[in-house]
């Protein structure tokens, strides 16, 4: 899973951008995951059922990918404590940053949002620094 090729990256980017465009032009909504989850807790109206369907799609899509022959990781080498702490930090970060990487990086930059460009630069810089630090101490 860590040996992606240029073709894999291009195809992945195309699929994400097509999906984001379909959602934006199809139902007029942004496909930022944290916003979708947050909106789910605030609304029970039938017009908001798309949120549930979106989340179900996120959960079941890896199974369809496996059926199409894509190899998926079967295990991870991280403790449950690290997963929980990481999840909480990401959740807090998405509230503080007014969105997640998908919302800012895919949808926001696509809409030429200056705020999203700054947020994405901060996300990516933090990721690069984190990888550098982790690789330096291991």
Q: What is the per-residue pLDDT across 90-109, written as a single tens digit (0 to 9) for each? A: 888 888 878 888 788 888 88
Distance CA 114, CA 50 (A): 28
Distance CA 10, CA 48 (A): 32
What is the H or E stretch that residue 109 is in? helix 109-110
pLDDT at 2: 60
| pLDDT of residue 47 exceeding 70 | yes
| pLDDT of residue 73 exceeding 80 | no
Q: Report the 10 Å Cβ neighbour count for 80.
A: 7
pTM for this model (two decimals): 0.70
pLDDT tier for residue 36 given thresholds of 50, 70 and 90: confident
Look at the block and give the residue holding tokens 């240029």.
Answer: 6
Q: Report the 10 Å Cβ neighbour count for 99.
A: 24
pLDDT at 46: 77
pLDDT at 71: 76
pLDDT at 17: 86
Quote the percentage of the chain above a pLDDT of 90: 10
Give me the chain's average pLDDT, please. Answer: 85
């Amino acid at each position: 899973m860590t040996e992606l090729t240029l073709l894999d990256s291009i195809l992945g980017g195309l699929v994400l951008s097509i999906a984001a465009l379909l959602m934006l032009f199809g139902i007029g909504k942004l496909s930022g995951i944290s916003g979708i989850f947050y909106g789910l807790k605030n609304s029970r109206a039938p017009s908001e059922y798309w949120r549930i369907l979106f989340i179900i799609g996120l959960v079941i899509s890896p199974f369809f990918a496996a059926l199409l022959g894509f190899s998926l990781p079967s295990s991870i080498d991280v403790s449950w404590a690290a997963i929980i702490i990481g999840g909480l930090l990401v959740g807090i970060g998405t509230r503080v940053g007014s969105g997640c990487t998908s919302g800012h990086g895919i949808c926001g930059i696509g809409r030429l949002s200056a705020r999203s460009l700054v947020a994405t630069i901060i996300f990516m810089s933090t990721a690069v620094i984190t990888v550098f630090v982790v690789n330096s101490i291991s």
